[in-house]
Amino acid sequence: MGTYRRSPGFFFARGLLGVCGMSGVLAVLFKVIDVATADSLHREIRSRARGVEIEHPSLGLSVLDAAPTVVGGLTMAAVAWLLLIVVIDIQRGQVFDDKAARRLRTSALVITVGILAHALIAAWADIAVLKAAPRGRGGNDYSYYFVGAVLPAAPWFLVAALLAVFAHAFREGLRLVQDSDGLV
């Protein structure tokens, strides 16, 4: 176990993860401030050409409108935090650690659950906002809005799959380290 590695790649990774984590936290913070202070609600519906504007929305509607952003921001912050710890551990020379494999697996799970939760809540919010719109347009076809919300986020499933594969590779690495322990 070893020396602290100072490769530029580590600092690049730490910087990117720091920016991702901070973006997630700021997105949540700004959305909460927006809900608390704004008099009107503007929601972009992915499957519609135009956004929807509602003056003096109810608190429930505002919270529902903000929820997908909050879920997305929290997901990003949580995953960035988990991966940042993995990068720091690798930099310290603790590469094939049981905790690293567990954190990678958790990251993959958080991304998957986060994307699905984001899409489900976004579809729910789309329908609620469209119903509350001045002309009361929109329908109740939940799956239509769910697909509209989940498709743009689909590439994140690739990231989750990649992290799950890395977690498996780390577990195999840990097994090899344990096998070679005591070999002379």
Partner 1 sequence: MPADDHRVITRLEALLDERGMTLAALADATGVTVVNLSVLKNNRAKAIRFSTLTAICDALACEPGDVLVLG
In the complex, the smallest distance separating the C-beta of residue 181 from partner 1, rounded to whole angstroms, is 7
37 neighbors 97 (Cβ within 8 angstroms) = no
**Binding range to partner 1, per CB under 8 A, among 8-16, 39-47, 61-69, 175-183:** 175-183
Selection from 151, 173, 176, 154 nearest residue 104 by Cα: 173
Residues binding partner 1: what is the number (CB under 8 A)? 5
Residue 184 within binding range of partner 1, rule CB under 8 A:
yes
Strand partners, 43: 52
Quote the DSSP letter at residue 58: -
Radius of gyration for the chain, computed over Cα atoms and rounded to the nearest angstrom: 21
* Nearer CB in complex with partner 1: 49/184: 184
39 binding partner 1? (CB under 8 A): no
Largest CA distance in the chain: 78
55/181 with CB nearer partner 1: 181
Positions touching partner 1 (CB under 8 A) are 178, 181-184
